[in-house]
A and B are shown apart, each in its own frame.
Chain A
Amino acid sequence: MFSRFFLAVAACFPLQVAAEASVTDFFLENGMQVVVVEDHRAPVVVQMVWYKVGAADEMPGKSGIAHFLEHLMFKKTKNLASGELSDTVAANGGSDNAFTSHDYTAYYQRVASDRLELMMQMESDRMTGLELSIDDIATERDVVIEERNQRTESSPGSLFNEQKQAALYMNHGYGVPVIGWMHELQDLNLEDAVAFYKLHYAPNNAILVVAGDVLPEEVKALAKQYYGVMPANPEVKPRRRSKEPPHLSPRRMIYRDERVAQPYMTRVYLAPERKSGSQKTAAALVYLAEILGGSGATSVLGKALQFEAKKALYTSAYYGGMSLDKTTFGLVVVPSAEVSLQEVEDLMDATIAEFIQQGVNLEAFERIKLQLRASEIYAKDNVQGIANQYGSGLTQGLSVQDVQAWPEVLQEVTPADIIAAAEMIFDDKSSVTGWLMGVQEDVK
Chain B
Amino acid sequence: MIRFIATACAVIWASLANGEVAIKVTNSPGGIQAWSVEEPSIPFTALDLIFAGGAALDPEGKRGAAYLMTGLLEEGAENMDAQAFAAAQEALAASFRFNVYDDNLTISVRFLTENKKASLALLKTALMFPRFDQAAIDRVRGQVLSNISSKAKDPDSVASATWDSLAFGDHPYGGALEGTEVSVQSLSRADMKAAHKRLLVRDTLYVAAVGDISGNELGLLLDDLLGDLPEGEGLKTPPAGFALEGGSTVIDMPTPQSVALFGHAGIDREHPDFFAAYILNTILGGRGVESRLTAEVREKRGLTYGVSTFLVGKEEANMLMGQVASANNRIADAIEVIRDEWAKMAKFGVTETELNDAKTYLTGAYPLRFDGNAKIAGILVGMQRMGLNPSYITTRNEKINAVSLLEINRVARELLKPDDLHFVVAGQPIGLNEE
In the complex, are the beta carbons of B146 and A381 less than 8 A apart?
A: no
The smallest C-beta distance from B94 to any residue of chain A, in angstroms, reads 8
Contacts A43-B17, A261-B152, A306-B139 hold; do A91 and B360 have CB atoms under 8 A apart? yes
In the complex, are the beta carbons of A149 and B325 less than 8 A apart?
A: yes
Q: How far is the CA of A366 from the CA of B93 in the complex (A)?
A: 11
In the complex, are the beta carbons of A6 and B305 less than 8 A apart?
A: yes
Q: At the interface, yes or no: A389 with Cβ under 8 Å from chain B? A: no
Q: How far is the CA of A258 from the CA of B83 in the complex (A)?
A: 36
Which residues B364-387 have CB closer than 8 A to chain A?
364-368, 370-374
B302 interface neighbour in A146, A261, A368, Cβ under 8 Å = A146
A313-347 vs B, Cβ < 8 Å mask (1 yes, 0 no): 11000000000000000000010110000000000
A133-141, A232-240, A281-289, A405-413: which one contacts chain B? A133-141
Q: At the interface, yes or no: B189 with Cβ under 8 Å from chain A? A: no
In the complex, are the beta carbons of B290 and A86 less than 8 A apart?
A: yes
Which residues A250-300 have CB closer than 8 A to chain B?
258-262, 295-298
Q: How far is the CA of A371 from the CA of B2 in the complex (A)?
A: 27
In the complex, are the beta carbons of B368 and A94 less than 8 A apart?
A: yes
In the complex, are the beta carbons of A41 and B1 less than 8 A apart?
A: yes
Secondary structure dominating the interface of B: mixed
- For residue A429, which residues in chain B have a CB less than 8 angstroms away from its CB? none
In the complex, are the beta carbons of B367 and A112 less than 8 A apart?
A: yes
A167-175, A184-192, A372-380, A414-422: which one contacts chain B? A372-380
B219-227, B241-249, B293-301: which one contacts chain A? B293-301
Nearest CB to that of A299 among chain B residues?
A: B86
Q: At the interface, yes or no: A83 with Cβ under 8 Å from chain B? A: yes
The smallest C-beta distance from A305 to any residue of chain B, in angstroms, reads 11
- For residue A310, which residues in chain B have a CB less than 8 angstroms away from its CB? 139
Q: How many A-B residue pairs have CB under 8 A?
A: 198
In the complex, are the beta carbons of A93 and B143 less than 8 A apart?
A: no
Q: At the interface, yes or no: A218 with Cβ under 8 Å from chain B? A: no
Q: How many residues of B contact A (CB 8 A)?
A: 73
Q: At the interface, yes or no: A92 with Cβ under 8 Å from chain B? A: yes
A149 interface neighbour in B87, B257, B360, B365, Cβ under 8 Å = B257
Which residues B234-282 have CB closer than 8 A to chain A?
253-257, 259
Q: How far is the CA of A92 from the CA of B16 in the complex (A)?
A: 15
- For residue B360, which residues in chain A have a CB less than 8 angstroms away from its CB? 91-93
B19 interface neighbour in A43, A141, A258, Cβ under 8 Å = A43
The smallest C-beta distance from A23 to any residue of chain B, in angstroms, reads 16
In the complex, are the beta carbons of A261 and B149 less than 8 A apart?
A: yes
Q: How far is the CA of A143 from the CA of B289 in the complex (A)?
A: 13
- For residue B1, which residues in chain A have a CB less than 8 angstroms away from its CB? 40-43, 213
Q: At the interface, yes or no: A49 with Cβ under 8 Å from chain B? A: no
Q: How far is the CA of A40 from the CA of B1 in the complex (A)?
A: 6
Nearest CB to that of A155 among chain B residues?
A: B154
Q: How far is the CA of A112 from the CA of B361 in the complex (A)?
A: 12
In the complex, are the beta carbons of B367 and A43 less than 8 A apart?
A: yes
Q: At the interface, yes or no: B389 with Cβ under 8 Å from chain A? A: no
The smallest C-beta distance from A368 to any residue of chain B, in angstroms, reads 8
Which residues B69-94 have CB closer than 8 A to chain A?
75, 82-83, 85-87, 90-91, 93
Q: How far is the CA of A164 from the CA of B407 in the complex (A)?
A: 56
B314-332 vs A, Cβ < 8 Å mask (1 yes, 0 no): 0000000000011100100
Most buried by A among B149, B154, B302: B302
Q: At the interface, yes or no: A147 with Cβ under 8 Å from chain B? A: yes
Nearest CB to that of A369 among chain B residues?
A: B93
In the complex, are the beta carbons of A378 and B255 less than 8 A apart?
A: no
B14-52 vs A, Cβ < 8 Å mask (1 yes, 0 no): 001111000000000000000000010111101000000
A303 interface neighbour in B44, B75, B83, B326, Cβ under 8 Å = B83
In the complex, are the beta carbons of B256 and A154 less than 8 A apart?
A: yes
Contacts A41-B1, A94-B364, A381-B373 hold; do A370 and B256 have CB atoms under 8 A apart? no
The smallest C-beta distance from B330 to any residue of chain A, in angstroms, reads 8
In the complex, are the beta carbons of A41 and B2 less than 8 A apart?
A: yes
In the complex, are the beta carbons of A42 and B357 less than 8 A apart?
A: no
Q: At the interface, yes or no: B304 with Cβ under 8 Å from chain A? A: yes
Contacts A146-B326, A298-B87 hold; do A110 and B368 have CB atoms under 8 A apart? yes
The smallest C-beta distance from A123 to any residue of chain B, in angstroms, reads 16
Which residues A194-222 have CB closer than 8 A to chain B?
212-213
Q: How far is the CA of A83 from the CA of B150 in the complex (A)?
A: 39
B257 interface neighbour in A86, A93, A138, A146, Cβ under 8 Å = A146
Q: How far is the CA of A212 from the CA of B39 in the complex (A)?
A: 16
In the complex, are the beta carbons of B257 and A150 less than 8 A apart?
A: yes
- For residue A423, which residues in chain B have a CB less than 8 angstroms away from its CB? none
Q: At the interface, yes or no: B112 with Cβ under 8 Å from chain A? A: yes
In the complex, are the beta carbons of A374 and B82 less than 8 A apart?
A: no
In the complex, are the beta carbons of B112 and A377 less than 8 A apart?
A: yes
Contacts A90-B290, A92-B364, A258-B254 hold; do A114 and B93 have CB atoms under 8 A apart? no
Contacts A90-B287, A91-B357, A381-B374 hold; do A154 and B303 have CB atoms under 8 A apart? no
The smallest C-beta distance from B112 to any residue of chain A, in angstroms, reads 6
Q: At the interface, yes or no: A111 with Cβ under 8 Å from chain B? A: yes
Q: At the interface, yes or no: B306 with Cβ under 8 Å from chain A? A: yes
A143 interface neighbour in B39, B298, B370, B372, Cβ under 8 Å = B298
B372 interface neighbour in A94, A113, A381, Cβ under 8 Å = A381
Q: How far is the CA of A150 from the CA of B212 in the complex (A)?
A: 42
Contacts A86-B290, A154-B257 hold; do A334 and B90 have CB atoms under 8 A apart? no
In the complex, are the beta carbons of B83 and A307 less than 8 A apart?
A: yes
User: What would 27 A/B residue contacts be, using CB atoms closer than 8 Å?
Assistant: A41-B1, A42-B1, A42-B2, A93-B366, A95-B365, A111-B368, A112-B364, A139-B299, A139-B301, A142-B301, A143-B298, A143-B302, A144-B305, A146-B326, A149-B256, A154-B255, A259-B154, A295-B86, A295-B90, A297-B86, A298-B90, A313-B146, A314-B143, A363-B87, A371-B93, A374-B44, A383-B371
Q: Which 10 A-B pairs have the closest CB atoms?
A: A93-B364, A142-B302, A374-B93, A297-B86, A42-B371, A43-B18, A139-B302, A149-B257, A147-B305, A261-B149
| Apart from the given pairs A93-B364, A142-B303, 9 other A-B contacts in the complex at a CB distance below 8 Å | A42-B370, A44-B368, A90-B290, A93-B362, A112-B368, A261-B146, A371-B90, A377-B112, A378-B44
Which A residues fall within an 8 A CB radius of B? 5-6, 40-44, 83, 86-87, 90-95, 110-114, 138-147, 149-150, 153-154, 212-213, 258-262, 295-298, 303, 306-307, 310, 313-314, 334, 336-337, 363-364, 366-368, 370-371, 373-375, 377-378, 380-383
